[in-house]
Structure 1
Amino acid sequence: MTSQTTAKFRRIADDFRTRILSGELRAGDEVPSERALAIEYDVSRPTATKALALLRTEGFLNSVQGSGTFVADLDVHRRPGDRYARAKRAGRIYSGNERAEIVAAEVVEQPPAHVVRGLALPEGTAAIRRHRITWDGDERTEVSTSWFSAQLASTAPRLLSTERIRTGTVAYVEEQTGRTARYARDRMTARSAGKEDAAELGLAKPSTPVLVVEHIVYDGADAPIEFAEAVYPPGRYTAEQRYDLT
Structure 2
Amino acid sequence: MMAEIYDMLPKYLQISAYLRELIERGELAPGAEVPSERELAAQWKVARPTAAKALNTLRQQGIVHSRRGSGTYVTDRSALMRENAPRYGPPFAEDDSVTVLEAAVVAAPREVAEAIGLPRARAVIRKALSISPSGSTTLITSWYPVEFADSATRLLTLERLPGGALRYLESVIGRGPAVVRERIGARLATADERGYLALPSPAAVLVVHRTCRDADGRALEFRTAVHPPGHWVIQQEYSTSSAADSRR
* TM-score normalized by the length of structure 1: 0.59
Query: Which residue matches 2:28?
Result: none
CA contact (8 A) 1:99 1:135 kept: yes
CA contact (8 A) 1:217 1:224 kept: yes
Query: Which residue matches 1:199?
Result: 195
Query: Which residue matches 1:240?
Result: 235
Query: Which residue matches 1:115?
Result: 112
Q: 1:160 to 1:170 in 2, by over 3 A?
A: same
Q: 1:94 to 1:190 in 2, by over 3 A?
A: closer
The separation in 2 between residues aligned to 1:187 and 1:117, in whole angstroms, is 14
Matched, 1:189 2:192: no
Query: Which residue matches 1:212?
Result: 207
Query: Which residue matches 1:165?
Result: 161
2:160 match: secondary structure: coil
CA contact (8 A) 1:127 1:149 kept: yes
CA contact (8 A) 2:145 2:219 kept: no
Which blocks of at least 5 consecutive residues in structure 2 are unaligned?
3-83, 243-248
2:224 match: secondary structure: strand
Query: Which residue matches 1:231?
Result: 226
Matched, 1:139 2:144: no
Q: 1:83 to 1:215 in 2, by over 3 A?
A: closer
The separation in 1 between residues aligned to 2:181 and 2:135, in whole angstroms, is 27
The separation in 2 between residues aligned to 1:80 and 1:126, in whole angstroms, is 27
CA contact (8 A) 2:189 2:205 kept: yes
Q: Deviations over 1:167-212 (max 9, x none)?
A: 1111111110011211211111111113211110112x12111001
Query: Which residue matches 2:125?
Result: 129
Query: Which residue matches 2:17?
Result: none
Q: Percent identity?
A: 29
The separation in 2 between residues aligned to 1:209 and 1:118, in whole angstroms, is 24
CA contact (8 A) 1:140 1:202 kept: no
Counterpart code for 1:120: G
1:224 to partner: Cα distance: 1.1
Q: 1:183 to 1:170 in 2, by over 3 A?
A: same
Instruction: State the number of aligned residues.
Output: 161
Q: 1:147 to 1:242 in 2, by over 3 A?
A: closer
The separation in 2 between residues aligned to 1:241 and 1:189, in whole angstroms, is 15
Query: Which residue matches 1:63?
Result: none
Query: Which residue matches 2:170?
Result: 174
Q: Deviations over 1:203-230 (max 9, x none)?
A: 2x12111001111111000111000111
Counterpart code for 1:150: V
The separation in 2 between residues aligned to 1:83 and 1:100, in whole angstroms, is 18
Higher relative contact order (CA 8 A, sep 6+): 2
Query: Which residue matches 2:97?
Result: 99
The separation in 1 between residues aligned to 2:196 and 2:210, in whole angstroms, is 20
1:100 to partner: Cα distance: 1.6
* TM-score normalized by the length of structure 2: 0.59
